Structure 1
Amino acid sequence: MKQIKAIVRPEKLPDVREALEKTGCYRGVMITDIMGQGAQKGITQAWRGEKYQVDLLPKVMIDLVVKDEDVETITNIIIKSARTGDIGDGKIFIYDVVEAVRIRTGEKGNDAL
Structure 2
Amino acid sequence: MRKLEIIVKPEKLEAVKEILEECEANGVMISNIMGYGNQKGYTKMYRGTKYNVNLLPKVKVETVIPKEMAKTIIDKIVSEINTGNYGDGKIFVYDVEDAVRIRTGEHGQEAL
CA RMSD of aligned residues (A): 1.1
- Structure 2: give runs of 5+ residues left out of the alignment: none
Distance in 2 (alpha carbons) for counterparts of 1:105 and 1:81:
37
Count of residue pairs the alignment pairs up: 112
Trace 1:3-82 onto structure 2 (pairs within 5 A). 3-24=3-24, 26-82=25-81
**Fraction of identical pairs, as percent:** 54
Counterpart of 2:74 in 1: which secondary structure? helix
Kept in 2, the 8 Å contact 1:12–1:81? The answer is: no
- The normalised TM-score by structure 2 is 0.93
Distance in 1 (alpha carbons) for counterparts of 2:81 and 2:32:
16
- Structure 1: give runs of 5+ residues left out of the alignment: none
How far did residue 111 of structure 1 move? 0.8
How far did residue 52 of structure 1 move? 1.4
- The normalised TM-score by structure 1 is 0.92
Kept in 1, the 8 Å contact 2:38–2:86? The answer is: yes
Counterpart of 1:79 in 2: which secondary structure? helix
How far did residue 85 of structure 1 move? 1.5
Kept in 1, the 8 Å contact 2:43–2:52? The answer is: yes
